[in-house]
Chain A
Amino acid sequence: MQRFLLSRIAVLIPTFIGVSIVAFAFIRLLPGDPVQMLAGERVVSPERHAAIMHQLGFDRPLVMQYLSYLWGLLQGDFGTSIVTKRGVAGEFFTLFPATLELSLCAIVIAVALGVPAGVFAAVKRGSWFDQTVMGAALVGYSMPIFWWGLLLIILFSGVLQWTPVSGRISLLYYFPQATGFMLIDSLLSDQKGAFGSAVSHLILPSIVLATIPLAVIARQTRSAMLEVLGEDYVRTAKAKGLPRSRVVGVHALRNALIPVVTTIGLQVGVLMAGAILTESIFSWPGIGKWMVDSVFRRDYPVVQGGLLLIAMIIMFVNLAVDILYGVINPRVRAR
Chain B
Amino acid sequence: MSHISAQEAEEGVGADGPDHRVKKSARRQMLEEFWFYFAENKGAVLGLVVFGLIVLTAIAAPLLAPHSPIATNNQAQLLPPVWQDGGSWNYILGTDAIGRDMLSRLLFGAQYSLFIGVIVVVVAVSVGIAVGLVAGYFGGWLDTVIMRVMDVILAFPSLLLALVLVAVLGPGLTNAMIAIALVLQPHFVRLTRASVMAEKRREYVTAAKVVGAGPLRLMVVTILPNCLGPLIVQATLSFSNAILDAAALGFLGMGAQPPTPEWGTMLAEAREFILRAWWVVTFPGLAILVTVLAINLVGDGLRDALDPKMKRS
Contact = CB atoms under 8 A, between A and B. Distances in A.
Interface of A: 14-15, 18-19, 21-22, 26, 29-31, 135, 138-139, 141-144, 146-148, 150-151, 153-154, 157-158, 223, 226-227, 269-270, 272-273, 276-277, 280, 291-292, 295-296, 300, 303, 307, 310-311, 314-315
A18 B149 contact: yes
A30 B163 CA distance: 14
A26 B161 CA distance: 11
B190 to A, nearest CB: 14
Contacts of A135: 43
B296 to A, nearest CB: 5
Nearest to A139: B293
A310 B240 CA distance: 25
B251 A146 contact: yes
Contact of A270 (B157, B281, B292, B297): B157
Nearest to B152: A18
Given A146-B267, A276-B163, 13 more contacts: A15-B148, A141-B296, A144-B244, A150-B267, A154-B274, A223-B313, A276-B252, A295-B167, A296-B253, A303-B167, A307-B161, A314-B155, A314-B157
Contacts of A146: 247-248, 251, 264, 267, 285
Interface in B269-296: 271, 274-275, 278, 281-282, 284-286, 288-289, 292-293, 296
A144 B159 contact: no
B160 interface: yes
Give the 4 A-B residue pairs with the shortest CB-CB distance, closest first: A147-B285, A18-B152, A273-B159, A273-B157
Contact of B274 (A143, A158, A280): A158
7 contacts: A15-B155, A21-B152, A26-B168, A139-B289, A147-B267, A150-B274, A276-B160
A295 B240 contact: no
B168 A29 contact: yes
B159 A295 contact: no
Nearest to A296: B253
Contacts of B251: 144, 146, 277
B156 interface: yes
B139 interface: no
Interface in B72-106: none
Contacts of A14: 148, 151
A296 B170 CA distance: 11
Contacts of A18: 148-149, 151-152, 155
A276 to B, nearest CB: 6
A184 to B, nearest CB: 26
A335 B43 CA distance: 40
Contacts of A142: 240, 244, 289, 292-293, 296
Contacts of A300: 167
A173 B178 CA distance: 46
B158 interface: yes
A50 to B, nearest CB: 25
B48 interface: no
B164 A307 contact: yes
A143 B289 contact: yes
B288 A144 contact: yes
A151 B170 contact: no
B300 interface: yes
A139 B288 CA distance: 11
B58 interface: no
A227 B313 contact: yes
A147 B160 contact: no
A270 B149 CA distance: 20
Contacts of A29: 168
